[in-house]
Amino acid sequence: MQATLATPPWHPCVGSGKHVHLSDGGGLNGGTESGWQNDWSLPADLADWSSDLSEPQCEFNHTWTPDPGANDNLPITCVTWYELYAFCIWDGGFLPTDAEWNYAAAGGSNQRAYPWSDPTTSYAIDCAHANVVPDSGVACNNQKMQGVGSLPLGVGQYSQFDLAGNVVEWVLDLYADGGYFNPPPHGCLDCALLSGTPSPDRTYVGGSAVRSYTEALVSWRSHDAPTQAFADYGGRCARPGH
């Protein structure tokens, strides 16, 4: 976040953050993806970033520190959808869609119940798989975040760590009533729900250290306003496959 120290503060360019490897640079939805929009707001400077990432509602579990330290291998928490999107742009990536996240977590056509499920219909989950609150009701890590990549038994089919548990993950899509966006009649290719809903809420997935293990299921989704941030709100950035 040192980029915010520039004068004026760094801000994503309008239209950046698109899936530029699709549709000859036009991105998702047949090349109509808008990317970053001019009216989306971010903290003004480093002090505001630090304040936002350690808001009072995140006191128990915020992981941000303005200087390098012991938290450097922990997932970011208390991050809004806008802040995560901007970070992914700054870091040279993009925010994955619900469909992209789902493909990775479900193991593609295997349609795993959890990212690690083998057989694919297995509902086995414990603290070696994901940092969640298991059915015992005793949180795996005292509801605290664990280091990124610290649970190899929870890795997904395509080698991504932490697809379930630790922090919920914002994805690009607006929230579809009824859950996962899969428009009729048979779904769509390289698409996301980016318009056409009355609610501005964005989708998040994956479960977290403070949530029941049932919310770590690949099929689980929830939503919130893109300006909201709580102690388990996080995410990941994506890049084109090679």
Confidence of residue 242 (pLDDT cuts 50, 70, 90): low
Within a domain: residue 6? Answer: no
Q: Where is average pLDDT lowest: 37-46, 125-134, 138-147? A: 37-46
- Average pLDDT score, the chain: 92
pLDDT of residue 19: 97
d(CA 40, CA 31): 21
pLDDT of 66 above 70? yes
pLDDT of 2 above 60? no
pLDDT of 5 above 80? no
pLDDT of residue 24: 96
pLDDT of 195 above 80? yes
The string of DSSP codes covering the chain is: -GGGGSSSPP-PPTTTTS-TTSGGGT-HHHHT---S-TT----SSHHHHHHHTT-GGGTTT----SS-STTTTSPP-S--HHHHHHHHHHTT-BPPPHHHHHHHHHTGGG--SSTT-SSTT-----TTT-SSB-TTS--TTTT----TT--GGG--TTS---SSSSSEEEEEEEPPTTSS---TTT--SS----SS-S---EEEES--TTSBGGGGSTT-EEEE-TT---TTEE---B----
Confidence of residue 3 (pLDDT cuts 50, 70, 90): low
pLDDT of residue 10: 80
Within a domain: residue 22? Answer: yes
d(CA 151, CA 55): 28
Within a domain: residue 128? Answer: yes
Within a domain: residue 127? Answer: yes
Mean pLDDT (whole number) for 120-131: 96
Report the number of distinct structural domains present in the chain: 1
Within a domain: residue 118? Answer: yes
Q: Which residues pair with 222 in a beta bridge?
A: 204
Within a domain: residue 4? Answer: no
Confidence of residue 67 (pLDDT cuts 50, 70, 90): confident
pLDDT of 80 above 80? yes
Provide the percentage of residues in the chain whose pLDDT is more than 90.
Answer: 77
Within a domain: residue 197? Answer: yes
pLDDT of residue 204: 98
- Read off the CATH number of the domain in which 129 is found: 3.90.1580.10
pLDDT of residue 7: 66
Within a domain: residue 60? Answer: yes
Which residues, 6+ apart, have CB-to-CB distance to 198 below 8 Å? Answer: none
Confidence of residue 131 (pLDDT cuts 50, 70, 90): very high
pLDDT digits 0-9 by tens, 148-191: 999 999 999 999 999 999 999 999 999 988 777 776 666 788 99
What domain range is 130 assigned to? 12-242
pLDDT digits 0-9 by tens, 28-56: 999 999 999 999 989 988 889 889 999 88
Q: For residues 79 and 234, is the Cβ–Cβ distance under 8 A? A: yes
